[in-house]
Every structure is written in structure tokens, then in C-alpha cells.
Amino acid sequence: MSHAISTKPPSGMRDFLAPDVVRRRHVLSIVQRVYESFGFVPLETPTIENLGTLLGKYGPEGDQLLYRVLHRREKLQRALAAGTVTELDLADEGLRYDLTVPLARVVANYRDLPTFYKRYQIQPVWRADRPAKGRFREFYQCDVDVTGSRSIVADAEVCGAVAQVLRELGFADFRLLCNHRELLRALVAEAGIAPESEALALVVLDKLDKVGADGVRKELAEKGVAADRTDALLAILAATRAPDALAVRARGDGPGAEGARDLLSLFAACAGGPAAAHLTFDPTLARGLGYYTGPIFEISCAGLAGSLGGGGRYDNLIGMFGKQQIPAVGFSLGLERMLLVMEERGMFPSLGIGPEVLLCRMSDVEAAAAIRVATQLRAQGLRVEVFAEAAKLGAQLAYASRIGAPFAAILGTSEVADGSVTLKDLTTGEQGKVAVGDVAARVR
């Protein structure tokens, strides 16, 4: 008995029809233009990376979300049948999980890159996550990174580039949350949480805005952290939100003081740029990925659960691929999240999509004549579709309305003879003969 094949894409994956593609192109064109205006150059890396490149970079939860690629060659199939290896043993490659680890591999691999390498990368990534609203298993990231510099100017530049993108897209109410991994580690230690539980505590704390304080308490308890330690941590974090708390820590010499000074330097460096009005210190910001070492960032938008993007400094990641430690900092915007919010808020401008003119021909007009006129109209910069069938004019005009073409250009024998078309405005119903060379001016 045969079963109908589902026509839906896999869960967490999507098809993009014309309106979706046009909106995505609009956003990506602004992202690319702004990134390049800050001096970042493009990079693209393969969809598939060696599994050794990916494993151990994202923390235990991240490793579980990696898509692994299995090779089922004949020899390996025999090994499976004999029970000498498992399926996971056969996976030696995986789909790209983010764009930062591939960048670290590239910087370690190519010795002729600039000392201060400013790159942007706009490509899809994959995570074997549970799909939810605004969360997908395949999605685009828009990254900017600077490698080779420990200067806080590099941090300010990636924050500025991301802030400028959001401002040009029409976002006004976003906050650029900032924290520092060393400061946060000091706060975790002050709460009495053991060093071996620190990484787990940071992963759970990263979910605070989603699950709340009670959710954090519950999950840390499940991971073996005593309730009084969790309460102490939440109290310390709340106290650190006080207006002068960061400055007080920066004046000291205890754990986290250098991190506090870094944040104050970052705020000072951003003062003259587009990020200044949006910077907000948030001591609860954790960023769950394991490779961050310094300042960390996240974009918070009013009314949106989750963030529009995030990043931070990762000075030890590139050194995992070679002998030399190369400092780096980066920021990633999530395309899907931006599109979702922009659509919900009606932020998209009117975007040209589909033909502006449907070229209709009467049955006694040769196809070659219609193609020739369409070519002339396209040379004027118009988007033109030629109606393929020699149908009745009424059917052609009905089709023009159905696809949303604002104008129909009707071509009969008299129009062919005098180099014109009968141009019909499908909104007003007005029509008249127009020389082919003047159609674009009339349409526009």
C-alpha cells in the first residue's frame, strides 16, 4: 500500500516564496552595505566542517545540537553489520553550527591574512534544536569579527556595525546588553558555586530571561547546585545592577575588576558611535557558548522573547587550531529573528516584486514581435513578463491583476506597425497608446 509523500519541508526548515525572498534580500543588502562601510571584507566557508573542528567549542549542550554527517560506504556498512562500530563512530564531519568556529579555522590556516583581519560572513547554519516561533533548525547568521587585536576599539567597532544595521532597518527600541565573562565568573565564585560547576551555571544563567529565576533555581538544583548558592548568585547579580556597582568594582583589584574596567572602556569608546544610545550593562547576561573570554553582547528588543543577536570576545578559540593564540571579537545578527519582528511591526518599505508590466499580445501578433518589445522595455529598467499563451485579451488582463502587475502593455498589429503599445493602468482602468520608448517614464 503506497503512502502519499508529504509536500511540507522538514520540521524547522522552510521554503521561501517570492515575497519572503525579496524581504530577505532587502535586509541582507543593508547588512552587507553597513558591514562594508565599517571596513569588513566578505568570507564564505563550506557547509560541512570536519567534526574535530566543531566538537568541544560550544559546550556540552552545543555538541549535542550538531548535525553529524554519516558516511555509509560499503566497507563501513560491513563494519556496522559486524557490530564493530556504531553509527556515531562513522560521523567524521558535521554541518556548520555557527560562523565563528569556521572563522577561527580559516585564520589559523591562512598565514597571509591581514594582521587585523576584519571579516563579515552571511551564511546559513544548522542546529538540531527543537523548532519554535522564531527558532529554526536552518537559519542565517550575519557575522562581523575582528581578529588580531586585544584593543577595546575592536569590540566597539563590531558593536557599532551591528547597531548601525538595526538603526538603518528601522529599529529604535533595541538595547545592546553588555557583560564580561571574567566579571560574571567572579560573581559566580562569590556565590560559593564550585569551579567545576561554573560552566553549567553559566549555561543555565543564559536562560534567565526565558525561564525566570524559578526556572534557574530548578535547573541548577537538578545539576547539583545547592539552593542557597543559587539564591546567593541571584542576589549578587541583582545588587550588581545598581548604577554605581560597575564603577565600584572597576576601582578594586579583586576578581572581576579588570572585566569591569574593560566594560567601562568599551562604553567610553562607543560614545562617539551608533551603539552609544543603546548600550546597557546587564550582569545577568551569560551567553551560553563556551569559547567567550571577555566582553559579551546581546541585542534585546522590546516585546521579543529572546534576542536579535549576540557575540563577544573569544581570545583563546583560534589558538585551539594552531600554536599561536590570536585574540578576536565578534557579533552575530540572526536574520530570521530580524525578519520576524520587522514583519510583525510592519517595518518593511514597499518592495518591488514581480512584473511591473504584463505584455499582452493579440492573436495575430507574432511571438517574436512581443519578445522584441519586451526586450526594449526591459532595457528601460522595467520588470516585464510576456504572457505566454495566445489567449483572449480578457484572460490576459485577468492574469495581470492576479499576479499584481500594475500595468498591461497590449500589442496588436497597429501597435507593432507604429512602434507603440496600448498601456493600460490596471488600478485606474485608464489606457492609451504610448511609444515603446516612453513606457518606462509613464509607468514610473
Q: Among 245, 262, 279, where does a domain finish?
A: 279
Does residue 217 lie in a domain region? yes
**For residue 187, what are the domain limits?**
179-279
Burial class (CB in 10 A: 0-12, 13-18, 19+), 135: middle
Residue 90's pLDDT is: 59
**Could you tell me the CATH number of the domain that includes residue 389?**
3.40.50.800
Residue 176 exposed, middle or buried by CB count within 10 Å (0-12, 13-18, 19+): buried
Selection from 63-67, 228-232, 259-263 with the highest mean pLDDT: 259-263
Neighbours of 366 (CB within 10 A): 12
Residue 423: count of CB within 10 angstroms of its CB: 21
Cross-strand bridge partners of residue 176? 279, 299
- Residue-wise pLDDT tens digits, 350-363: 887 889 999 999 99
Beta-carbon contacts of residue 27 (< 8 Å; ≥ 6 apart)? 169, 335, 338, 339, 342
Asked if residue 374 has pLDDT above 70, the reply is: yes
Mean pLDDT, range 103-112, rounded to an integer? 94
Across 108-115, average pLDDT: 94
Q: Tell me, yes or no, whether 416 lies in a domain.
A: yes
Residue 279 is given by DSSP the state E
Beta strand segments in 292-334, E = 295-301, 307-313, 328-334
C-alpha cell belonging to residue 377 = 522595455
Confirm whether 14 is domain-assigned.
no
Residue-wise pLDDT tens digits, 309-323: 999 999 999 999 988
**pLDDT tens, 385-435?**
999 988 899 999 999 999 999 999 999 999 999 999 999 999 999 999 999
pLDDT-above-70 percentage for the chain: 95
Average pLDDT of the chain to the nearest whole number: 90
In this prediction, residue 89 carries a pLDDT of 57
- On whether residue 210 sits in a domain, the answer given is yes
- pLDDT, residue 24, reads 96
State which of 252, 279, 306 marks the end of a domain.
Answer: 279
> No. of H helices and E strands in the chain?
18, 16
Question: According to the model, what pLDDT value does residue 57 have?
Answer: 85
Cell digits for 158? 563590531
Domain assignment of residue 78, yes or no: no
- Asked if the structure places residue 186 within a domain, the reply is yes
- pLDDT band at 225; cut points 50, 70, 90: confident
Query: What is the C-alpha separation between 289 and 47, in angstroms, rounded?
Result: 20
Residue 301 placed within a domain? no
Pairing outcome for strands 41-42 and 117-126: parallel
Q: How many domains does the chain have?
A: 2
Establish if 68 belongs to a structural domain. Answer: no
Q: Name the 3-class secondary structure at 123.
A: strand
Domain boundary among 258, 279, 300: 279
